[in-house]
Every structure is written in structure tokens, then in C-alpha cells.
Amino acid sequence: MPDPHAIASSDASQAVAVVLATTETSGLRCSGGTLLDRLTGQLATLPVRDVHVVARSSDIIHAPGGTHMIGAEGSRGLADDLRRIAKVARSSIGPVLVVAGDLVAHTEALAMLVEHPARGTGALVGETGQAGQVGRAPGPARPPVRTDGRSVVAAGTSFHEAGETNGTFRGAFQVGVSDLAGFAEIAETLAELAETGAFGPMDAGEAPGLLLVGLVRSGVQVRAARLGRLHADRMAGQADADTAVSRLAEIDEGEARLDAAVKTNDGFFATYGVSSWSRHLVKSVARLGLTPNAVTGISVGFAALAAIWFSVGTRPGLVAGAVLLYLSFVLDCVDGQLARYTRTFSPLGAWLDATFDRVKEYAVYLGLAIGYAAGLDVAGGGPDGIWALAVSAMILQMLRHTIDFSYSGARADASRVGAAWARPAGSLADPAGDARRTAAPHRPDRRAAFAGADAGRTPGTGNAVVRLSRAMEKASLTRWFKKIIVLPIGERMALIAVTAALFNARVTFVALLVWGGIAALYILFGRMGRSLSR
């Protein structure tokens, strides 16, 4: 007899899909049937437990093999569609995927939502005028959005403005389990407003974009699932559909998945010194069947060997240690890339990665100090003061990590109590946590925010620190400066390897203390500035 707890756990990890086939374009023809048939067939290949199809009539709906289709649900308009989505959200024990029935997308694009290990809230986002996409400007079928790092911080519809935008929403989003209660409340509130005509002549085809506006303006953290080379677009007519379906074959989805595994917002050295070629290593490691945790273990081994060679204190030993340290860092990048490529994240893996990053770095400090203290002439060493420098470098790194972790914790706490600095621009006055509860006191605030056309705060608002930070992101040179000055792990490993191989441990520790001290002050004052009311 099956274990009911195991079944419940499996159900909770699978999404429930709501397909909004409320426009005529859902019935456009393609190979094997209609766009709706194609979409439900794709969902059958993904970890989607049930599919709810909301349509104006049921004569165009049928279930492909392999999908448990709940059935076509007749709907009378936008408000009714929103209430049906709210009903699904209230009853689901797993994430809820909302997708437009006229969406033509790579299966891998949908997998970026439903197969993401976090199973959290996210939306498909493409760049404005993205190469290879059907050439339409932002509009009802491609609503504008603004992203900030990994999150969607503003969204628009034909009624709602999003301020200064840098992307478009591509017709599919998922709501994580922790956000479902608040999402149901958001959908109900939007339905009430739609009934009163608060959004003007908005048609049912804009329901996905409208719900995204509701999520973002309620302060829910929405991950921006960036398409990259993948295609995802809603169709306006048969010609669009024919072109979009034919273009899907131009992209190798496996290669696109590999590209997406490499971080696009990493440090300078990690980007150009490792990620420019590590994708080939990721593919080879995946074929060997190695897990991300196994790669982490190998990375630790290389770091241990680097520390041993550094402890020898000779020039060849320092050079060998530098090479091994670089290889250790390469594998430190590859374990995360492999986890993203295979979608095999785990809490243990994340903990191991973060913990061993510190262990490897401090082991290298120890090895350098031992080698220098031996006093070999070839390294120009001697015991005088080297241990004080090594310990100082360790303490500085611990202080930097304390600043980072304490700020993250403070931001989370501030978000729960509604502090302005902890919320994304354009969100409601009530915190993200309130968006996840079903309590009624915040409903009037939601109504006011949802019914307002303007985007609220724009990128130009906020205190001077926030404005300066955003301005620096717009130019490549200043954006890289922001990344480099904080001395991230890639830059630290490169600094250690180069100074140790060319000079000695004393130079390495002095360089770490000087650059690390500047970085600590930059981070500290930046965090303090961002914490001020904006």
C-alpha cells in the first residue's frame, strides 16, 4: 500500500496549472491541433499534477495523454476568471502555474518555473525587443516590467504604468506555496475592481499581466525567470503563431539550459576568468553523473592541496599552490552551475558550498603563513609578523560576512514589519508578509494600489545612496566597479593566487587587508545608506 505521506509530499512538489484559454487566439492552429493542445501537451511532460482550463466554451478543449485534466471551466469575463484562479490557489497544496492559453514557448522556458528547485514565485521575463522573438513592442500581450537583479519590482498592463521598464512579461508565472493564500486574496480583490470597471476596457486576455501587477504591488517577491535565448510569446494571429512555432526549432533547448546555468550577474573574475569556458566542463561533469556535492568535495580537495603546496614556501610550491587554488575556484563555480543545469539544489548542498568556501580560504591563509614563516630565502620569508597578518585577514573576512548576513537578516525582519527600505520599489505600504496572509485589514490598501494607474516610486526616487547605486548600474564601467570593489570571492582567489605566485605571503596578506578594508567600508556605508528611509 502506498505511503500517504509520500504521496502528499509528491503532490506538494508538483504544480497545479491554470491555463487561461479565454481568447480566440488559444484556438489558433498549429501542428497537431491548436495552440492550447500544444501547451497542455507540454505541461504533460513537466511536473504538473493537474491542469485547469478556463475558457469561454468547452468545445475547443481536450486533454492530451499523460495530463490529468480537471476540465474546461466556462467563464463569463475577467472578474470570473480571476475568481476561478483564486479558488484554485485556495485549494492547492503545491505551487500554482498561471499561463495564457495562446502562449507559444519552449518547454524549457516553462520548466524554468515549475522545475526550479525553490518551487517559489516567479515570472517569465524577456528583454524588450529580444532577438528571435516575434517583433512586437510592449503591449497587452507583452506587458512591460522592471527587474532589479533577480526580482520583478514593477509590472504594467494597459491600465497600470510600470515606470522606467527594462523587460516584458511573457505570459506565464508561478506562485509558490507560501504565497498562495495572499495570491488568492489578491485575485479576489482584482476581481472586485474589474467588476466595477476600475481598469477601464481591459479584456480577459490581460488576466496574467494583471495578476502579476497585483503580486508585485503587494510586495510579494517575484523571481525574474529570464528567457535568455529561449522563446516565449503570446500570439496575436495565425501568422504570428506560424512564425513563432517554426522559430522554436532554431534554438537547442539543451544548450539554452546550459547557458542559463551560468550566472549572468556574477563577479568580474568569475565571469571572464571562469564562466567564459566552464559551461563545457559542466556538460562533461553532468555526463559523468557527478552530483554538485561531489564537485564541492573535489573543490575542497584542490584547495587542501593548494594549502599544502603554499606551506612548502618555495617558489615552485607557491606557483603550484596558485594553480591549484584557481582550479579549486573553478570547481566552486561549476558545482553551482551543475546544480542549476541539473536542477538538483538541496539545503545540504547550499550549506556545504557556503561553509567550505570559508574553510578553503582559511586553510589557504594557514598554508601561506606556514610557508612564509619557514624563512626560506627564495620566498623572502621569515616568521616576523606573518601570523598577525594572517589572523588579521581572517578576522576582516569574518567581519565582512557578519555585515552581509546581519544586513540580510535585518532586511527580512524589516520587511515583516513594513519598513520602507526593505521593500521593492513600487510595492504596497504593507509588507510582503502581509501579502501572504488572508486577513482583511490590508484589503483597502490593496484596492487603492491596484486601482491606481501610476507605478508609485520610480527608479529616480529614494535617498541619495539608492539613486547613486541605480545610476551606477546603467553604465558597464561603473557596474563592474561596484562588483569589483567589494572584493567578492573570485577576486579574492585571483588576488591570492597572483600575489603568492609572483611575490610572497606577506604581499598577499597586505593586499587582502588593504583591498578588504576598503571593501568592508564600502559595504558598511552602503548598507547604512540603504537602511535610511527612502
Active site residues: 357
DSSP state letter for 129: T
Q: How far is CA 308 from CA 262, 301, 384, 494, 495, in A?
A: 31, 11, 21, 18, 18
Which cell numbers hold the place of 86?
483564486
How far is Cα 429 from Cα 420, in angstroms, rounded to an integer?
Answer: 8
Residues 6+ apart with CB under 8 A from 267: 483, 484, 488, 489, 490, 491
Question: Which residue carries 575556484 as its cell?
Answer: 329
Question: Are residues 182 and 81 in contact, defined by beta-carbon separation less than 8 angstroms?
Answer: no
Q: Virtual CA dihedral for 91, 95, 99, 104, nearest 10 degrees?
A: -150
Q: How far apart are the first and last CA of the chain?
A: 58
Q: How far is CA 292 from CA 91, 289, 306, in A?
A: 35, 10, 21
Q: H-helix or E-strand containing 226?
A: strand 222-226
Q: Virtual CA dihedral for 213, 219, 221, 226, nearest 10 degrees?
A: 30
How far is Cα 393 from Cα 395, in angstroms, rounded to an integer?
Answer: 6
Give, in degrees to the nearest 5, the angle at Cα 220 between 218 and 223.
140
Phi/psi for 20 (5° steps) reads: -90, 90
Q: Which of 300, 294, 293 is nearest to 356 (CA)?
A: 300
Q: How far is CA 297 from CA 86, 291, 360, 494, in A?
A: 45, 10, 11, 21
Paired strand residues for 397? none
